[in-house]
Amino acid sequence: MDPDSRREMIVRAALPLVIEHGSAVTTRQVARAADIGEGTIFRVFADKAELLDACVTEALSPDHALAELALVSMDQPLAARLTEAASALQAHLDRVGAVLGALHATGGRGRSGRPGSPGGTPDRAAGSLPVREALVEIFEPERESLRLSPEQAALIFLGLLFAGTGMPPAGGGSADASPQWGVRDLVDVFLHGVLPQPVRI
């Protein structure tokens, strides 16, 4: 196995452990999960801090979400397309939040000095240009019927997604409210607003 493939395999094995243990995860635990000797980790990573940095980089990468967005069928109605897209992006944000939150809770920082803080970074990661462009493509078939351009609609949709999903309802809500319900609710509000009938402003 070449070094890049070995790094990728180790990071994949380490990510669930980082979510569980934060910066307290040990290289012995990672080696056991990856079914390799502990020394193998240090052939591709200088130390644990570099491994944690690689885990953060992998968590922030929107590549998996982009692959999911590419699979959204354009034959569906816009609401269905947006629900699938929002679910893919929410899963990405959940993973980012889990990794950074675990590191933050355990006082972890990578060598880069990036704190494991969930504030702001998921926004930057999921709102990258490739993600916005993928969302524009989802809106594109409705370009002529939209009040806004697909580019503007994608930007607003991302903003609502960052602000509105994956958070518990204010004042306490149903403990079994699922992320999927939140995504559908967000898509409904995005497309139809919060009022029963349009109001001219």
- Averages of pLDDT over runs of 10 residues in the chain (201 residues) are 93 97 96 96 95 95 95 96 95 93 82 45 58 96 96 94 58 45 85 77 62
Identify whether the C-beta of residue 87 lies closer than 8 Å to the C-beta of residue 152.
no
H helix intervals, 35-146: 38-44, 48-60, 63-70, 78-105, 121-126, 129-139
Task: Tell me the longest C-alpha to C-alpha distance in the chain.
Answer: 67
96: number of Cβ within 10 Å: 22
pLDDT for 19 equals 96
pLDDT for 183 equals 87
How far CA 116 is from CA of 21, 22, 50, 99, in Å, comes to 13, 9, 14, 8
The model's pTM: 0.78
3 state DSSP class of 97: helix
Identify whether the C-beta of residue 185 lies closer than 8 Å to the C-beta of residue 167.
no
pLDDT for 32 equals 97
Identify whether the C-beta of residue 103 lies closer than 8 Å to the C-beta of residue 18.
yes
pLDDT for 115 equals 45
